[in-house]
Amino acid sequence: MERIVKRRPPDYQYTQAAFSALRGKYPIARYTVCGRSLCSRSIYAFILGEGESPAVYTAGYHGQEWLTTLALLRFFEELCYALTNGKELAGVPAASALEGRSAVFLPCVNPDGVEIALHGPRAAGQYQPLVEQAMRGSTEKWNANARGVDINHNFDAGWEIARRMEREMGITGPAPRRFGGDHPESEPETIAVTGVCRQTDARSLLCLHSQGEEIYWQYGVSTPKRSPMMARILSASSGYRLAQPAAISSHGGAKDWFIAEMNRPGFTVEIGRGTNPLPIENFESIYLRIREMLMLFLLM
């Protein structure tokens, strides 16, 4: 198999090229743009299968966590290859896995944030002065979008609680991370995720982040009854431990919103271990460890 998805940091130019190449090679899927970032970069969505209520895979919420985008692109490519050629993926016949099912992939929810993290504040276009002021000379902790809003703190699930915690930490405006915006769903990147989930009546949501080798699956009393079983399967497959997010990370996330609004299973998976951005040299070993888990998520 000659790969389209190579082992290199997936900046926007790379993601655009991968989108075009995958669309040309694998017409078995449907390819669309589900939203645009603040800087008008496309937020791509890839769709497989004809079943209703898809499993939704998302990645690239945070600028420094670009390895998650590469992982989801690689999984999508391998799944397309297996479907096209009647192969198995992670020991599962791909055609059987998608029989009566569907999946939607959003490989990079926050393309502006990834671009800023990789190429600096000039990637923010008209928002460059804001980014320069917020980052205070260093891009090494940049996770937010071009407006300094942390997308995974901008969802409508305990947002007010998270906002209070932000203020207690001294975060009152645009910042490299953890500023949840002026109100829930204030950012186009957030709306792209919620729009896909609502419009497709998604049955489950998987959000790839890094790092820690942990899986978060609960959100208070809204947690569905089948979530614990699904979480145990994902954990057993990957070897990642089941955990509870702490303090400010326990509200405002995509997984939290999905569980609270859709009343269906949502998961945050923290891939790899180390310091973000995780080294590109570690990509293959990280991906191979989660590939079976990604496949099993489609089946549940």
Catalytic residues: 270
Provide φ and ψ at 51, rounded to 5°. Answer: -70, 160
Q: What is the DSSP letter of 278?
A: P
Going from the C-alpha of 297 to that of each of 130, 180, 185, 231, the distances in angstroms are: 39, 28, 26, 10
d(CA 123, CA 73): 22
Q: Which amino acid is at 209?
A: H
From CA 191, how far away is CA 155, in angstroms rounded? 9
Q: How far is CA 53 from CA 93, 182, 204, 256, 300, in A?
A: 21, 31, 8, 19, 12
Burial of 247 (0-12, 13-18, 19+ CB in 10 A): exposed
Which residue spans within the chain are E strands per DSSP?
Answer: 30-36, 42-49, 55-58, 88-89, 92-93, 102-106, 204-210, 214-216, 241-243, 266-271
C-alpha 279 chain-centroid distance: 18
Q: How far apart are CA 211 and CA 62, in angstroms?
A: 11
Return the residue matching tokens 């990604």: 294
